[in-house]
Structure 1
Amino acid sequence: MYKIFVGDKPIILTTKPKDKKGVKNYNLKTVILRNVIRKLNNSSIKEARLVHKNEKKLLKKFLKKAPNVIAGGGKVYNDKGKVLFIFRNGKWDLPKGKAEKNETIEETAIREVEEETGVKGLKIVKPIETTYHMFKRRGRYRIKITYWFEMKTSFDGKLYPQEKEGITKVKWLGNKKIKKALENSYANIKILID
């Protein structure tokens, strides 16, 4: 099973339809993605389920439905155990961004965290979740695939929000403040923090 978010509502890729109020089932093979997104955005349904009999083919078939944008990001810990957050477009988020040509996904994740926050000395500890969400650019829906990495750093210098990317704040948050930030964050980010 996979979750792809449209805003905070999930599209679930699954082999099992669910007959429940607030859930709409579609055949993955024949579905028109923009109709599903429109339904999620403009109705009271809470989730859409795209159903296919072969579990191994769920993601592959879905990713052919729209152009893919590959991104890398970091859940960064400092020496005090705090996590690095950015505030962009009115919501708390983790630093991430689009992969550039000839760059590994690990290089993307480190570069994006550095560019968006000013933090240096990043070391990747391990890969964590991969998240998926839909967004619209130039009138067309795209699937953003973000590869996330747990990182650590001893950096304790000044933080610099990348303003041209719409980032207005960069903060190290402890557990209490993370809880508060997640009240105004994205479903994908909540998955990474839980």
Structure 2
Amino acid sequence: MAQKYRIYINEKVILLTGKEPKRVADYKRIDTEAFDLKMAYSWVLNHPSKLFYVLCDDVKAFFKTVKKSVILIEAAGGLVKNETGHYLFIFRNNKWDLPKGKIEKQEGVKEAAVREVEEECGIKVTRLDELICKTYHSYINKGEVVLKKTYWYNMRTRGQKDLKPQTEEGITDVRWFNKDHISPIIENTFPSIMDVLVKEKLVERVR
């Protein structure tokens, strides 16, 4: 499988890829030589297209250069499953989301993932499993274009009936969803969250 990376800007995606994407007509190509994330950020936001791609000879090396060109912020979170097979989601900024947060100094990635999930949902993680994937999204922080890299882990919990949203972080709801009834999530979530759900085979990728 050809290597590729997705950088999300709000609801839009820039695909860094070694070959043209399927349904390439749906994408706007960005020239490799001219690509600069700081410059491309506003242009992508203002462009009518939602899908963009950059064709690279060496995708991994190109993405490494992109990461070095901006401030990189690392975060971690998780997809939590309980003993009845339900999955935990939070509602924040008018979207369904998964709990996550910035990795603090002197803190390990796994440690941060568990801490953020427990703080944002008011639960106790009883088991930390494998890394699902890493996602990337870009936004403006203090006037600068930054790239956030988020590590997503599978997690387990037992007997957690009383959920407590961390309201100071803008979370207004925390809820369990059966994997066969997550259409409300699919209809109102972020593309990066869809990546996690696709990786776990809870949904199929639509593009």
What is the TM-score with the length of structure 1 in the denominator? Answer: 0.92
Match 1:24 to one of 23, 29, 51: 29
Q: Partner residue of 1:69?
A: 73
Is 1:166 aligned to 2:170, yes or no? yes
C-alpha distance in 2 between matches for 1:21 and 1:129 = 25
Structure 2, unpaired ranges of 5+? 199-207
Question: 1:99·1:108 contact (CA, 8 Å) conserved in 2?
Answer: yes
C-alpha distance in 2 between matches for 1:121 and 1:16 = 40
Call closer, same or farther: CA 1:142–1:157 in 2, change over 3 Å. same
C-alpha distance in 2 between matches for 1:33 and 1:126 = 31
Match 1:50 to one of 54, 57, 80: 54
What is the TM-score with the length of structure 2 in the denominator? Answer: 0.86
Call closer, same or farther: CA 1:106–1:21 in 2, change over 3 Å. closer
Q: Once the two structures are superposed, what CA deviation does each residue of 1:12-43 show, in whole Å capped at 9, x if it has no partner?
A: 1123467746413222x542323322222112
Q: Partner residue of 2:197?
A: 193
C-alpha distance in 2 between matches for 1:179 and 1:192 = 15
Question: 1:121·1:155 contact (CA, 8 Å) conserved in 2?
Answer: no
Question: 2:74·2:102 contact (CA, 8 Å) conserved in 1?
Answer: yes
Question: 1:22·1:44 contact (CA, 8 Å) conserved in 2?
Answer: no
Amino acid at match of 2:142: R
Question: 1:84·1:171 contact (CA, 8 Å) conserved in 2?
Answer: yes
Q: Secondary structure of 1:26's partner?
A: coil
Amino acid at match of 1:96: K
C-alpha distance in 1 between matches for 2:127 and 2:146 = 30
Measured after TM superposition, the shift of residue 179 of structure 1 is 1.8
* Total equivalences in the alignment: 193
C-alpha distance in 1 between matches for 2:181 and 2:92 = 17
Question: 1:12·1:50 contact (CA, 8 Å) conserved in 2?
Answer: yes
Is 1:6 aligned to 2:9, yes or no? yes
Measured after TM superposition, the shift of residue 48 of structure 1 is 2.4
40-49 vs 87-96, which moves further: 40-49
Call closer, same or farther: CA 1:178–1:61 in 2, change over 3 Å. same
